[in-house]
Structures are given as C-alpha cells and as structure tokens.
Chains A and B, each alone.
Chain A
Amino acid sequence: MEECGGGDLLSEAMGSGARVVLVEDCVEAPAAFVLHLLLKRAFAGAGAAVFLALSQPFSHYDRILRKMGCNLSLHRRSERLHFFELQAFPGKQSLFYLVLFGLEKLSCNYYLVRCHFICFFAAGGAKEASITDSFVRLYSQIQRVVETNWTGENAGKFIIMIDDISLLEVAAHGSVNDVLDFLHYCVTLTSEMNCSLVILIHEDIYSSEENMGLLVHLRYIADLVIKAAPLSTGLAADVHGQLSVVNKCVFSEQRSKVQKVWNFHFKMKENGAEFFYPGSRR
C-alpha cells in the first residue's frame, strides 16, 4: 500500500506491501475513520480509488473528507474516484432491490452516468442466479475501472474500498459463498493489477460460533488486519479506543525482524485522528 503524508503510527504499522487490508470494528469503536484516512492518503499520493458504499451516501463521505482537506467531489469529477452507491433496501420478502450507480465507460471513450436497477427475486434458483449475476456485473465494472486506470506510473496506487462487507452479505441475501467469490475476484485483481483492497467488517456481528464463516475467511484472505476496539482498561476522556495492527505477510526481503503486531491508542479529531502509544501522552 502506498503511503503518503503519513509518518504517524498507523502508516508505520501498516508498512508497505500489504495488498488486502481488513479493518475490523465493533459498535463501541467504529473504524470508519480508518477508511477515511486511507482514502485521503491514497488521493494525496496521486492514487485513485473504487469505493463500494453500502452504508452511507456519497454526501456523507464528501462532508467528512472535506473537513480532512480532501475534496471527493473534485476527485469524482476528475475520475480518480469511482463511487458505486449500493444502497440496499431491506427486502420485502419477495422483492429486493440493489441500486447500483456506476460510471460506465463506453467503447467510444466517453463516460455516461448510468443507473442500474438489479432486481433480486426471492424465489428459488432464480434468486440465486440473479445474485451471482449481479456480482459478476459489479465485478466487471470494477475490473474495467481498474484496467482503464492501470498505467505504468500509477500502478500500485489504486485502492478498492468496501464499506462495509456485512451489508454486502445482506444484499446477497446472506449468501456467504457469493460474497466470498466476489471478494476472491477482487483479490485476484490486487495481485494482477498491483492495487490494494480495503474491507471494513463489523466484527461483533460474527461473534457467535456458527456465524463465524465470513469473518474467518476474511482473516485468512487478509495480509493486514486493523482492529479497532474500545479501550481495554475502561473509559477515558481523551482516548477514544485502541487499534491493533497485525501484519501477516511473513516473507520479506529484508532479513531483519519486522514488528508484526502493533497496539496503540487513538483519539478522533474533527479533521482526522491521532495515534499514540499507551501512556505516551499526559
């Protein structure tokens, strides 16, 4: 992962080379700010991004990133941000909509904003097939965007970001296998196109034994896991939680031992977040 303007603990802990980043959070300590931070850094480093938004509309991200000094609307217009607004309306048992706004590039090289309505019919095989089909369609759009952006100089600065995967599972009618297939294809993109994939997951949804499926699979896929949790020692006025970063890439070029596991506190601010080791602040 390309880091720019970093120098804080998080970027130090993330290092470079992690292609698949899993961000875990829970209700007490949401980690959406990590996504915002990574998005901002990607744009600061002249990169581009595909954003699959399931939890919030575009204006939400635009407002937050603007306070952090990054103009998402501008990036969207200049086609460095490809925003897929996948707002899921809870299914009325028989009918389920997945609205998919996407920029679709036509062969004559001009962009058209198109709006897809994909209907999921909750009836037997038809439903299953249409879920898979819509994932194939979504993937094909992502692949196209990544391919058109893949040029020599910005290779490796492209991010695919999913906020959040739990809602994608809901959109797929709880079919973990379909979500995993889709993710696998996104992962193959990261190794073929040298881009990175950032996935947000709400860890506490998967706390029970029989429901672990998606979370465990994601932990296997990930090269780097960032986990946000409330402060283990209790509440504090100026510490909002703790982050643990686990780097799972075992093979590295340098012989020296690299720190694999990091643990530090964070404090959220209006225009970003501050990271520090426990006890290093007054």
Chain B
Amino acid sequence: MAEAAVRCLRDGRLDGEHAPALAMEGSLQCCPLAAGAMLHVAAALASQVVSGKAQARGVVIVAFDHSPEVYLDFIRRRGLDSKALDRCVRILDCYSDPLGWKQKIQNQPHQERNRKQLSTKKENVAVFRNVKDVKMLMNSITELGGGFQGEGKLYFSVAVDSISSMLRHASVPSISGLLSNLRSHDQVSSIFWLVHSDLHEPKVPRAFECLSTMVVCVEPALVDPACGESSGTMSFLEQNYTKAKFIFRLKRRNGRVKHFFEEIHVEGNDVKFISAPSINTEVSQSLLPKVHFNLELSEKERSDRANVVLPFEHQGKGEPIRIYDGRRSLPELQQDPNLSTLSLVDEIKSTKSGTSKGEIHYIRDSDDEQLDSDEDPDDDLDI
C-alpha cells in the first residue's frame, strides 16, 4: 500500500484542509528497511512531481540522517534525469554541518585554507548550520519551497528524515509545532517524516502520529519470541534484514481508520513491495493441515455462495436498495422521505398492525461492503 500512501501525498491538500501528513516509523530491528521505505516514498513522490501529476511542484527534503547524495542518487536511479532533479527536488542539508562546527573551523583566522573542495557546490542543496533554531529551520524550508518554478499557486511537499535526529537538538513541543505549522502553511501540499521509534519514549512517536493523517509502521517480519539478543536470534536477524512488514494506516476525513499491510524488501539498489494477499495464500497453503476433505472453496462454490440472499435481506427483490451510511445530509432527507428514520418507524408500525407475522427490517450498513478500492479518491467526501 505504499502506492496508496504516495497517491495521497501526490493529491495533496484540499481547500480549507490541512495538508495530508504521513508518519513513518521504524525500529532498530528493521531500521535499514524503514530508511529504505522513506527513500522509496520520497523518490516515488519526486517522480510524480516531475511528471506533473502531483499537486506539488517540488519536493523539499530536510536531510538529517543521510548526506544529500544518498537521496539524489536514489532518486536518480529511479530514472529521473539531473535536469528534472534540479527543477523539482531541493535538499536542506542538515547532515553535513548541523551545528556550524565546520564553518567555525573554517573561519579560524590563523588557519591556512588549502582544503580541496570535495563537495562541489550543488544548486539544489542548501546547507543549514544551526539546527537548534527551529524557527529558522521553518523559514529555510518555506524559503526553499517557494523557489520552485511554475504558474499559478505553487505548492510543495516536505520530507523530513528524520524527526529523531531533530529531537536531539530541540524539544518535542517545538518540533510538533514546526510540523503543524508546516501542515497548515498554505503552500505545503503534503508532508511526510520518519521517526525511529525506539530512540524515544513510546509517547513521543504517538504524539507525532496524532499530527498525521497516515501512519506507516515498518515492523520486523519475524518477531523473536525470546525477545532478547541472545545468540539464538541470529536467524531471526537475518530474516529481518532482508524483509519487513509495511503496515499502513489511513485516517479518513470522516474518522474511519483503515489498515493495510504489505511486505517490503530490498532488491539490489531498489526497494520493492509485495502485496499482502499473495503472502497470505502462501502461508495458508503451507500452514493448513493436510486432510482428506477439501477445506477450500472452488470457484463455482464461491460464486454460488455470493448469490445466496440472506433471509433478512429483502433488498433487490423489486424494492429499492437502501444502504445506511450514517450521514445523510438534510436536503437528501427532504427529497426522499422514505429514508428518514421517522418514516421507517412508521413503516414498521404499519406493517406490525397490518399483518401478524413478524418481519425483520434490515438496512445494510455501508461498512459491511467489501473494502472499497482506493481508486476513487472522492469516496469519503461529504459533498
């Protein structure tokens, strides 16, 4: 469901709403994979931006954990040429010199500077030298984001890698203030960040989850039952460094929370995802006991089962299909008085008085449906 997460980030904000925010969490047991997932999302969003499908015109990456080259190389490997990269990706480099030590050393008067300039100055990388100043950080991010080319209102997306490194220099309230300021900034299209959950008390990642609309947890594929670092855990470790669970939680605007999960693994230089169902069948095939009778349904049996009308469901037999979704708007009520609860009660009363036989009135709940596909981004809008 990494795709769905990227899609939400791509679609950006609606008028009068805060920007969608994605919080990614990883622990030490699978930390390279969490970092990989972060790189993947950043690269996928950048390629959407380059192709013009996204609301944002550019991505600002606030880099604490890796050098800017790591991001640029990864995005480049996804097939973006350097021209598009220069146009759509800006990196605020908080990695190279977060506290300004290097500048201080360079400015020492008695030193002869014959240093070879190794890091050739890049146009789309800005070095930030005082990470303790959160206000200045906010200004630098919005300044970088305002520099993208384009017409009309210019949106940009923000990636922060990682919050944990920021928290070494600033307090939780100031960082959450920064994030919510960014979310409500009218030029920010979407924002996502990475937190290393085991570096903090449990309440800290929770606090950042509350600020987000989507949460991704990268969890170890196998959890060690002994839960210790004894030598017996080696085979577990090997497994956990090759793949991990990618759990995606999406908070809809109406408050409904959806869970998805996928498997993430690394292939060569790239991050790949396998959707969960294939794993499930694999597991069920191998885990089901071998028995003489058939536990699985055949295709025909499955379609037959789908066609059975449940005894309490009268729907579709000439009567209009009603689905209750708990949030009818008022004008609709007036148009269709049949659906108001009052008239329903009347109906029940009348049938009760008319005939002696009992009847169950059942209105299917919208939540009973199969999980809707994520193709329609407007399905949860109250228009």
A residues with a Cβ closer than 8 A to B are: 107, 136, 139-140, 143, 147, 150, 177, 180-181, 184-185, 188, 191-193, 216-217, 219-220, 229, 232, 242, 244, 246-255, 257, 259-261, 263
Contact = CB atoms under 8 A, between A and B. Distances in A.
Contact of A260 (B198, B232, B238): B238
A259 to B, nearest CB: 8
Interface in B87-131: 95-99, 101-102, 104-105, 108, 110-112, 115-116, 118-119
Interface in B14-34: 28, 31-33
Contacts of B315: none
Given A181-B99, A188-B67, A232 B230 contact: yes
B112 A107 contact: yes
Contacts of A219: 28
B268 A255 contact: yes
B269 A244 contact: no
Given A136-B101, A192-B96, A255-B268, A216 B230 contact: no
Contacts of A177: 168
Given A150-B116, A180-B168, A252-B268, 18 more contacts: A107-B112, A136-B101, A136-B104, A185-B101, A191-B67, A192-B118, A220-B28, A246-B241, A248-B31, A250-B33, A250-B241, A251-B268, A252-B269, A253-B268, A253-B269, A254-B268, A260-B237, A260-B238
B142 interface: no
Contacts of A143: 102, 105
Nearest to A177: B168
B323 interface: no
B58 interface: no
A89 B115 CA distance: 35
B223 interface: no
B199 interface: yes
A244 B231 CA distance: 8
B266 interface: yes
Contacts of A188: 67, 95-97
Nearest to A250: B32
A251 B234 contact: no
Nearest to B269: A251
Contact of B199 (A136, A220, A261): A220
Interface string B259-279: 000000011110000000000
A260 B268 contact: no
Given A192-B118, A192-B119, A260 B95 contact: no
Interface in B139-196: 164, 168, 196
Contacts of A192: 67, 96, 118-119
B96 A232 contact: no
